[in-house]
Structure 1
Amino acid sequence: MFDVTQSLSNLKGIGPKRKTVLLEHGISTYYELLTYFPRRYLDRNFTKDIILKQGDVVTLLGSIVDSYIVHGKKSRLLVGFRTLNNERINLVFFRGVNFFQKLFAIDKKVVVSGKLEYFRGYQILHPEYEFLSDADDPEDSIHAGRIIPLYPSTEALKEDGLDSKGLRKLIHQVLEAGTISENLPSKFIKKRKLLGRDEAFRNIHFPDTMETVQIARKRFAYEEFYYFQRLLLYKQRERQKVKRLLWPLPKSPSRTNLEKNLPFELTEDQKSAVTTILSKTNSDSPSAFLLQGDVGSGKTITALLVGLHYIDNHIQVVFLAPTEILARQHYQTIYKFMGNMPFLGIELLLGGENKKTRAEKLSRIKTGESNIIIGTHSLLQEDVIFSDLGLVVIDEQHKFGVDQRETIRAKGKNPDILAMTATPIPRTLCLTLYGDLTLVNIKTKPKGRKPIDTRWYKEDRRAGVYNSIRKYVSSGRQCYIVYPLVEESEKVDLESCTVAYENLRTTVFPDLKIGLLHGKMKSVEKESVMEKFKSGEIQILVTTTVVEVGVDVPNATILVVEHAERFGISQLHQLRGRVGRSDLESFCILMTGDSISEEGRDRLEALVASNDGYYLAEKDLAIRGPGELLGVKQSGLPEFKIADLVVDRELLDEAKEDASSIPLDDPNEVSELRIRFSEGKFLFAN
């Protein structure tokens, strides 16, 4: 056994320069080097004694015989490579011509891999390559004639000889130093048929077969999940140490009054959600929940019913929303329900308000005169001080970063947290991201809602779509036409939306009232457009994804999504939720061009086939992966080195079961967990 936390300085070939560049890449110990896992593998079991065939992917050992540049429409470098069987193959490089001409010196011994093509003889375009020693170097056995790992690399690493070959040499040295000790309980290794740690490290870096790679990978994926679940247990335990300062009332007169006067009947899921949340708020530690409900399932009223138990005890409740449109929507919804109870003090705090208005609002919030405070990121600013904040409701909570969520929480007196999302999150992600929250689901829609009729049309059906819009709008309905808007092409997207609006207004529907809404408009303009749309003054609203959440216009029954192939499943489902908010028949039309990728086709067919947000979320996760699905920057996704939330779902369940089955009472483990919690890493050195 040897200490994997020792410095790389102990390795042969690590001088000050290499040590510095490795440190810049987060590698300073044996352990960090061992967990710098390969990004992929090349099968360099050489292709021997075979007849070369066009289209075959081959790995060949040979040497360089010549090289020359061919000038033409596009210059290219031809490097003559001769195999052990005396076959000549041209290695062709269109990029980096001068660099590769110097690199591929005559008589150099090299292994090349790639797809064999035929053009005036056999050739491989931009092959994978690795040079071998001229002498019979025993070290060459770790670089060729076997399955070899390729590591993530950068120019800085390559300049210091730390390409895949250089890294393999260092890792081989570490593995030769001795046996690596185990860090998982032996009963779980046996129960889950996992490789031991030492063998797993050897097999993931120097495998005999690709099957052994997968077996080693499973071991490390389990280890990451296991310690991540232990970390969640630790977080729960730490949270339980914090004592509750503010207590919601078990019975709320305001809630009773509101329920009595609601113009609709609460669904069983809504009633159950309120009961579940309140049952947890009688503990002496603050609680944290994730209220997950499909679009239009009634999360806002559910959160309000919970909040009234706090307000009746003079405890403030905050609703934090990601956009002004959603914040205004919450304000209007809550005001509509609670307007006959002015003593509650409902406040809307947004950015860009004049100093006097903002100062008056801040004063009411600080003195406790305002009990329900609704706002955007403006609530996170330093000048916002609460009197007694006891419940924080964060809507579309994955749109807020971890720091932002912590900032608002810190403004309260150990408040309870109610995170809400209308993006149904697959169970695997919930276990991972929100394992320390109590999950509460609202699956049923309010009574009387009809499924939305979703159709996918290409450009040749546009005239028919416009005729249908005219028919429905002329009969008193309203319509959204949504254009994509993404960061990378924001300017172009905004322009196409504006041009389309002008065309629709002047050419296609000159007799109808059309409005334009996008995120670059001033707040007062956006508010004016939305008010006109809600009142029916605007019949067709041309907009970007700013309407994705929070806009509730029951009379809008047609949604047309332009360039629908550019949206993810969850985003399309969110957009679709802007219609179907009454008992009227509603339609979602997905428009695309004729050329569409297979993945795009999968997404659109899933939308047409199902209105179930939970099914669609699973589908989206399978297609795009968790980072894309939630937005890596804001999602708070743990940085797993090797575990995959899509591929390894069963393993996550197993690790969770095992991690929860043993007490968290080892001081060393708790100390390590505390470090891992701050670093966001889940493979343990010890």
Structure 2
Amino acid sequence: MADTTSKKTAKKPSLAERLAKLGLVKPMDFVVHLPLRYEDQTQIYPIASLAVGEYAQIEGTVVQQHIVQRPRRQLQALVRDSSGELMVRLLHYYPNQIKQFQVGQTLRLRGEVRRGFQTAIEMVHPKVSQAGAPLATTLTPIYPTTEGLSQPALRKAILQALEDVELDDTLPPSVRQQYDLWEFAHAVRALHYPAAEQSQALLNQTHPAWKRIKFDELLAQQLSLAAARARRAKLKAPAIAASQGLASQLLHQLPFHLTAAQQRVIAEISADMQRAQPMHRLLQGDVGSGKTVVAAFAAVQAIEQGYQVALMAPTELLAEQHYQKLQGWLAPLGITVSWLSGSLTMAQRRHAYEAITQGQSQLIVGTQALIQDKVQFARLGLVILDEQHRFGVTQRLDLSRKAADSLRSLDDQGQTLLPHQLNMSATPIPRTLAMTFYSDLDVSIIDELPPGRSPVQTKLVVADRRDEVMQRIQAAVQAGQQVYWVCPLIEESEALQLQTAEDTYEQMTQALPGLRIGLLHGRMSSAEKNVVMDSFRLAQLDILVATTVIEVGVDVPNATIMVIEHSERFGLAQLHQLRGRVGRGAKQSYCILMYQHPLSAIARQRLRAMYETTDGFEIAERDLALRGPGEFLGVRQSGQMLLRFANLEQDADLIEQAKACASYLYEKHPTVATRHVARWLGTKEELLRS
């Protein structure tokens, strides 16, 4: 007998469930769910006064109607008022809309004004309402929403919450007066019930109500980070005394002199490790500034006192380069430096695991293989994370947890000891970002390059001059120098039509038959990559055609030219990282940014920034302005969502004030601080602790 059971249709989520999806559960959640923007439905604008790009409301009569088939089927209606006319286009329409836009109908339309095809201006899918209806008396707020939750339903729920909840102020009058802030109740009502005459200040967020909301948000974040710092101060770590012998031996056998900046940050890190609280320091330094040798001095301090050190890097190429450098510096001191990655054979891995567990390996360098279950450290006192923003929270915590397990028997009071942690980044963090998302960290900055290095000269070259670039690199190779040639894709993509690494390799092999050319990309095995990279490092290759796998950490002092194809497709931070692969020796180096027309406005700004400065901090500030904080935050990018209203670039003064206020409240009024954080962050506070 056939199964006649019909499939049950999926139950639609209730209004409460849809609201909860937006995080709207308690009345105060609704109160601080503020508008994304506003629509002005308080007046009717003459069609002739409209400008492209603005949102406007008009009333007019339909004078023509057509259903056209090309370039796609759509309903078009010409609407006219006493001042002019515009076209309305409906790309998807129903029979009742054909009737709605019949010739002779007078309608009220709201929508974005666009440049038209048949007429000077048009609206696509405007909102339609009855002509002559009473106009709104305030601006209409448009809220962040989710599927199945209309603006009217959300607006009704928010306005109900405003009536039900007591809008008490978390900040005392003295604080509001000091920072010239509106009362909280006054501010949120002004934003939910916006007056039409204040439309511009509300739209560009310069209104005093927005100032109060932004200040509250930034203050909550700063209070949360202050609490995180205080919690960390209560934790325990092994107090690791300053090195008495190994640091001096390392200094004397280095083939170069440390810069003043390197000496300063080495001292800062050493002082941190001598305390019985876990170091949580971020080491920033531009590409080529010498962060690895700073890490080496931190490592020998821990190793001299009998602790192990783990250095984890995000890619095998970068991790292996660290291993080779550290092995060369530390092996002569009698320190055992081990290598652990996924490319090792099973036998090699078993041997590495055993040496780590027994404590024979003193410095272990590797990739995420370091956090595998089989890796058990004997006495891990220092964790070093390179390019820390590329690791997830879980990966970082796993390594810290392994360290804590290995230190469990060292504390005579039974308290868990945590390792010291040094995070390194070649992506300088802009000042405003450091003040907001990283204010719970101690930051050391290497702000000078090693002596003898000339700044890399950057050239912008249109792709049509490719042959000239080829001649330039041929001359450089004949003069004994080496060249990187970077392409954005590995194989042909019809969608993007970009020059690919494989095509470029073939073309260059044919065009430059006398030169030794290698190819490096992410789909090669680790062993294949290592062979190619070693050949380039040993000057057995003249030109390395590569994808962005060489973006971070690759160090070949004899490479003096970096060619980046389709540079308009790369992010600013990535371009700066790639440029940092040259200029690592004494010879003048060049970065050639090849681009194709037409350039977007953002691409033009990126290339201009690369041309105008080689300063990584200046690059970082410009990148923040172009792309926002996501790329810099990395492991903290979940926290980016906590700044819904404040703008890191535009609200720098407010950030300074919020930071000062947070310090005052945390010390003098902890109850006020707790209430304020609960209002603005609630359960989201955990996101900032990662």
Q: TM-score, normalised by structure 1?
A: 0.88
Cα distance in 2, alignment partners of residues 320 and 637 from structure 1: 25
Counterpart position of 2:584: 581
Counterpart position of 2:124: 126
The CA deviation string for residues 255-295 of structure 1, in whole angstroms up to 9 with x for no partner, is 11010111111000000001111122232211110000011
Going from structure 1 to structure 2, the CA distance change for 1:316 and 1:104 (only over 3 Å counts) comes to farther
Superposed, which structure 2 residues align to 1:357-368 within 5 Å? 357-368=348-359
Going from structure 1 to structure 2, the CA distance change for 1:417 and 1:366 (only over 3 Å counts) comes to same
The partner residue of 2:184 within 184, 188, 197 is 197
Cα distance in 1, alignment partners of residues 229 and 492 from structure 2: 39
The CA deviation string for residues 627-650 of structure 1, in whole angstroms up to 9 with x for no partner, is 245558867545322122222222
Going from structure 1 to structure 2, the CA distance change for 1:432 and 1:52 (only over 3 Å counts) comes to closer
The partner residue of 1:70 within 67, 70, 73 is 67
Cα distance in 1, alignment partners of residues 244 and 128 from structure 2: 73
Letter matched to residue 389 of structure 1? L
Counterpart position of 1:601: 604
- On the 8 A contact 2:491/2:503 being kept in 1, the answer is no
Cα distance in 1, alignment partners of residues 126 and 57 from structure 2: 11
Which 4+ stretches in 1 moved above 6 angstroms?
63-67, 85-88, 105-109, 116-123, 486-495
Shift of 1:231: 0.7
The runs of 5 or more residues in structure 2 that have no matched partner are 1-11, 405-417
Counterpart position of 1:11: none
Q: Check if 1:402 corresponds to 2:393.
A: yes
Going from structure 1 to structure 2, the CA distance change for 1:402 and 1:202 (only over 3 Å counts) comes to same
Counterpart position of 1:168: 155
Cα distance in 2, alignment partners of residues 242 and 104 from structure 1: 69
Counterpart position of 2:253: 261
Shift of 1:169: 2.8
Counterpart position of 1:390: 381
Counterpart position of 1:96: 92
SS at match of 2:563: strand
Superposed, which structure 2 residues align to 1:151-166 within 5 Å? 151-157=143-149, 163-166=150-153
Counterpart position of 2:652: 649
Going from structure 1 to structure 2, the CA distance change for 1:34 and 1:104 (only over 3 Å counts) comes to farther
SS at match of 2:455: coil
Going from structure 1 to structure 2, the CA distance change for 1:360 and 1:420 (only over 3 Å counts) comes to same
RMSD over aligned CA atoms reads 3.2
- On the 8 A contact 1:270/1:442 being kept in 2, the answer is yes
The partner residue of 1:318 within 310, 313, 316 is 310
The CA deviation string for residues 580-623 of structure 1, in whole angstroms up to 9 with x for no partner, is 11111111110001321222122112111211111111111111
Cα distance in 2, alignment partners of residues 123 and 490 from structure 1: 34
SS at match of 2:284: strand
Shift of 1:485: 4.4
Letter matched to residue 430 of structure 2? P
Going from structure 1 to structure 2, the CA distance change for 1:104 and 1:386 (only over 3 Å counts) comes to farther
Counterpart position of 1:4: none
Going from structure 1 to structure 2, the CA distance change for 1:504 and 1:103 (only over 3 Å counts) comes to farther
Going from structure 1 to structure 2, the CA distance change for 1:662 and 1:72 (only over 3 Å counts) comes to closer
- On the 8 A contact 1:319/1:393 being kept in 2, the answer is yes
Q: Check if 1:228 corresponds to 2:215.
A: no
Instruction: Among all aligned residue pairs of Structure 1 and Structure 2, give the percentage whose two residues are the same amino acid.
Output: 36
Counterpart position of 2:415: none
- On the 8 A contact 1:224/1:682 being kept in 2, the answer is no
Q: Check if 1:206 corresponds to 2:197.
A: no
Counterpart position of 1:661: 664
Q: Check if 1:624 corresponds to 2:627.
A: yes
SS at match of 1:124: strand
Cα distance in 2, alignment partners of residues 225 and 300 from structure 1: 35
Letter matched to residue 679 of structure 1? K
SS at match of 1:149: strand
Counterpart position of 1:453: 457
Shift of 1:61: 5.2
- On the 8 A contact 1:112/1:127 being kept in 2, the answer is no
Superposed, which structure 2 residues align to 1:231-242 within 5 Å? 231-242=224-235
- On the 8 A contact 2:281/2:444 being kept in 1, the answer is yes
Going from structure 1 to structure 2, the CA distance change for 1:573 and 1:682 (only over 3 Å counts) comes to closer
Letter matched to residue 31 of structure 1? M
Counterpart position of 1:484: 488
SS at match of 1:428: helix
Q: Check if 1:640 corresponds to 2:632.
A: no
Shift of 1:68: 5.5
Which segment drifts farther, 667-676 or 278-287?
A: 667-676
Cα distance in 1, alignment partners of residues 145 and 643 from structure 2: 19
Going from structure 1 to structure 2, the CA distance change for 1:178 and 1:57 (only over 3 Å counts) comes to same
Cα distance in 2, alignment partners of residues 489 and 119 from structure 1: 32
Cα distance in 2, alignment partners of residues 495 and 50 from structure 1: 47
Cα distance in 1, alignment partners of residues 284 and 603 from structure 2: 26
Superposed, which structure 2 residues align to 1:457-468 within 5 Å? 457-468=461-472
The partner residue of 1:47 within 34, 44, 47 is 44
Q: Check if 1:348 corresponds to 2:339.
A: yes
Going from structure 1 to structure 2, the CA distance change for 1:54 and 1:602 (only over 3 Å counts) comes to closer
Counterpart position of 1:19: 16
Cα distance in 2, alignment partners of residues 260 and 334 from structure 1: 15
- On the 8 A contact 2:516/2:543 being kept in 1, the answer is yes
Cα distance in 1, alignment partners of residues 494 and 351 from structure 2: 37
Going from structure 1 to structure 2, the CA distance change for 1:375 and 1:130 (only over 3 Å counts) comes to farther
Letter matched to residue 514 of structure 2? D
SS at match of 1:546: helix
Going from structure 1 to structure 2, the CA distance change for 1:180 and 1:135 (only over 3 Å counts) comes to farther
Going from structure 1 to structure 2, the CA distance change for 1:121 and 1:368 (only over 3 Å counts) comes to closer
Letter matched to residue 377 of structure 2? F
Counterpart position of 1:114: 112
- On the 8 A contact 1:450/1:583 being kept in 2, the answer is yes
Shift of 1:48: 5.0
The runs of 5 or more residues in structure 1 that have no matched partner are 1-14, 158-162
Superposed, which structure 2 residues align to 1:488-503 within 5 Å? 496-503=500-507
Cα distance in 2, alignment partners of residues 183 and 584 from structure 1: 60
Cα distance in 1, alignment partners of residues 491 and 648 from structure 2: 26
Going from structure 1 to structure 2, the CA distance change for 1:116 and 1:23 (only over 3 Å counts) comes to closer
SS at match of 2:89: strand
Cα distance in 2, alignment partners of residues 86 and 103 from structure 1: 25
SS at match of 1:314: coil
Cα distance in 2, alignment partners of residues 38 and 296 from structure 1: 45
The partner residue of 1:270 within 251, 257, 262 is 262
Q: TM-score, normalised by structure 2?
A: 0.87
Letter matched to residue 268 of structure 1? A
